[in-house]
């Protein structure tokens, strides 16, 4: 057991100190599992997820690849949209569009979009009130606005859907941290820091059309997908690798951390 004060001394490093202990800790896991490593983009800035880049080669398929639409759900409490878009702009998957939807302030969305749309050739970012209906991809990844994705996350999910015709959805595992970069346990009864990322999954677009008619009161997408298509139709990839990291709000005991995103996902599917 490590006291919070002690843990913070291992995470908070002096400004200009290489990649920082937080990024180095992630890199140890990514190196072990064969994923691209990260580094701090600006060594004079804090070592957090808004300041990381990875040397990820562009995925080179043997033929045409399916387009992936990433529907980012942002609301009025969104704090880290720029971090999210930075991580999506760095993805290795070549056929990608990003659609920001939700009830976040339009000026915030447009300001963040303008910083990234012009920097990536062939990378379309837009905002839409009908995010899912405007998605043109064969696969659709529903993505939280305060979530960072590893540069190879979409490649892993899309190639898996392409190679397993019986799967209608794939998910990865998420590490939740607070604004202080300290991890949060998804289940206090478990020693595992990672949990299935049920609020950020990739679906075949045809499956999403069928999910529109399911019970929208169900909180997470994995439960809805399993109810509609069966348990074996959904796959969870890399259970020991944090291919996404969610930056949570300061803890509010009266508001479960997943409730806000679950409400927005359900609304987007209606």
**pLDDT confidence bin for 123, thresholds 50/70/90:** low
Q: Is 202 exposed, middle or buried (0-12, 13-18, 19+ CB in 10 A)?
A: buried
**pLDDT confidence bin for 242, thresholds 50/70/90:** very high
The average pLDDT across 3-18 equals 38
% of the chain residues with pLDDT over 90: 25
214 has pLDDT over 70: no
Across the chain, mean pLDDT equals 76
Six token digits for residue 59 = 């995925």
Asked if residue 178 lies in contact with residue 251, where contact means CB atoms within 8 angstroms, the answer is: yes
Question: What is the rounded distance in angstroms from the CA atom of residue 81 to the CA atom of residue 106?
Answer: 12
Q: Are residues 113 and 236 in the same domain?
A: yes
Domain that holds residue 265: 60-269
**pLDDT confidence bin for 4, thresholds 50/70/90:** very low
**DSSP bridge pairs for 247:** 177
* The pLDDT value given to residue 150: 96
Given 55, 71, 95, the domain boundary residue is: 55
Q: Are residues 146 and 97 in the same domain?
A: yes
The average pLDDT across 61-85 equals 81
What is the per-residue burial (b if ≥16 Cβ within 10 Å, else e) of 223-236? ebbbebbeeebbbb
Q: Are residues 18 and 69 in the same domain?
A: no
146 Cβ neighbours under 8 A, 6+ residues apart? 78, 79, 80, 81, 83, 84, 246, 247, 248
* The pLDDT value given to residue 52: 85
Six token digits for residue 262 = 């679950």
268 has pLDDT over 80: no
Q: Are residues 41 and 124 in the same domain?
A: no
Q: Are residues 246 and 181 in the same domain?
A: yes
**pLDDT confidence bin for 155, thresholds 50/70/90:** very high
Q: Are residues 130 and 6 in the same domain?
A: no
pTM of model > 0.75: yes
Q: Is 56 helix (H, G, I), strand (E, B) or coil?
A: coil
Residue 79, domain CATH: 3.90.550.10
Question: What is the rounded distance in angstroms from the CA atom of residue 70 to the CA atom of residue 6?
Answer: 38
* The pLDDT value given to residue 66: 92
Neighbours of 249 (CB within 10 A): 13
Q: Are residues 79 and 188 in the same domain?
A: yes
- In 28-90, the DSSP E strands lie at 38-40, 52-54, 68-73
Kindly give the residue spans of alpha helices, DSSP state H, lying in the chain: 4-11, 21-33, 81-89, 106-117, 131-134, 153-163, 205-211, 221-229, 259-269
**DSSP bridge pairs for 12:** none
Question: What is the rounded distance in angstroms from the CA atom of residue 243 to the CA atom of residue 202?
Answer: 13
Closest CA relative to residue 157, chosen from 140, 138, 171, 174: 171
Residue pLDDT, tens place only, 52-67: 888 777 787 767 889 9
Number of domains the chain is built from: 2
106 has pLDDT over 80: no
* The pLDDT value given to residue 76: 62
* The pLDDT value given to residue 86: 87
Q: Are residues 162 and 228 in the same domain?
A: yes
């Amino acid at each position: 057991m490590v006291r919070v004060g002690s843990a913070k001394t291992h995470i908070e490093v002096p400004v200009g100190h290489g990649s920082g202990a937080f990024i180095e800790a992630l890199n140890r896991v990514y190196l072990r599992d064969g994923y691209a490593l990260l580094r701090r983009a600006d060594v004079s800035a804090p070592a957090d997820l808004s300041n990381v880049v990875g040397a990820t080669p562009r995925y080179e398929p043997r033929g045409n690849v399916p387009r992936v639409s990433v529907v980012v759900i942002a609301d009025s409490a969104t704090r880290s949209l720029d971090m999210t878009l930075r991580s999506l702009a760095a993805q290795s998957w070549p056929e990608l569009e990003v659609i920001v939807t939700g009830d976040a302030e339009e000026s915030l969305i447009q300001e963040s979009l303008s910083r990234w749309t012009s920097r990536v050739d062939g990378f379309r970012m837009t905002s839409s009130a009908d995010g899912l209906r405007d998605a043109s991809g064969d696969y659709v990844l529903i993505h939280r606005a305060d979530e960072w994705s590893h540069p190879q996350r979409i490649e892993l999910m899309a190639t898996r859907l392409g190679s397993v015709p019986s799967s209608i959805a794939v998910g990865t595992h998420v590490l939740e941290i607070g604004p202080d970069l300290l991890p949060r346990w998804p289940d206090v009864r478990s020693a595992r820091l990672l949990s299935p990322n049920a609020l950020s999954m990739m679906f075949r677009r045809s499956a999403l059309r069928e999910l529109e008619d399911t019970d929208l009161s169900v909180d997470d997408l994995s439960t809805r997908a399993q109810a509609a298509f069966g348990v074996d139709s959904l796959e969870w990839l890399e259970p020991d690798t944090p291919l996404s990291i969610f930056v949570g709000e300061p803890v509010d005991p009266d508001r479960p951390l997943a409730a806000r995103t679950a409400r927005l996902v359900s609304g987007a599917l209606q």
